[in-house]
Amino acid sequence: MSNQAGSSFIAIAKHYETLHDGDSKKVGLQPKMCPAGYWTEGYGSVIRYKGQMLKGAANRTVAYNLSRIRTEAEAEAELQRVGARYRAYVIKVSAPLKLSENQVQALTSLTYNCGEGAFAPGKAIYEAIKSGDDTRIKRAFLLYTKSGGKVLDGLISRRTTEAELFIHNQLNFYLHGKKI
């Protein structure tokens, strides 16, 4: 098992997360709040406070004080580090499924973005993969397109990218439902 996150996961995260700068008036990178209200830094790494994901506009000062990513190199290192952890989780949970590397990469992207609970025995994606039905698998990926209770085009695009990588071994990116 590699301790690297994987190139397809990195490409997906960089494309859909983008390297953000929460405050362009300050030098370096600052945290920002994602559409679900969680504070993130770098390429979408969630900021944690007292063991919980930090959430809410009222916690802006806390997010800025906890943020440690200031450069692109630091953001890249954090993406590799956290991605490797999610990859290890996917490999462990999926052992009975005998997945290809591209399938592991697609699921690493999903769990990085949605958390480990999105891919576990009994969950829609896991059970769809067990069924071997590509249509069911794609539908299961597309269950994870909401943030803050709203369906987001960016999440539809990301889940479509992940599903295609998983099913067809192709890494394609989307914008507003169209391949780019």
pLDDT in tens, 14-23: 999 978 666 6
pLDDT tens profile 2-55 = 557 789 999 999 999 978 666 667 767 889 999 899 999 999 999 999 999 999
Q: How many CB atoms lie within 10 A of CB 94?
A: 18
The model's pTM: 0.91
- Structural domains in the chain? 7-179 (1.10.530.40)
Distances (CA, A) of 91 to 48, 77, 139, 140: 24, 21, 22, 19
Burial class (CB in 10 A: 0-12, 13-18, 19+), 14: middle
Q: Give 1's pLDDT tier (boundaries 50, 70, 90).
A: very low
Q: How far is CA 122 from CA 36, 77, 134, 166, in A?
A: 25, 33, 18, 19
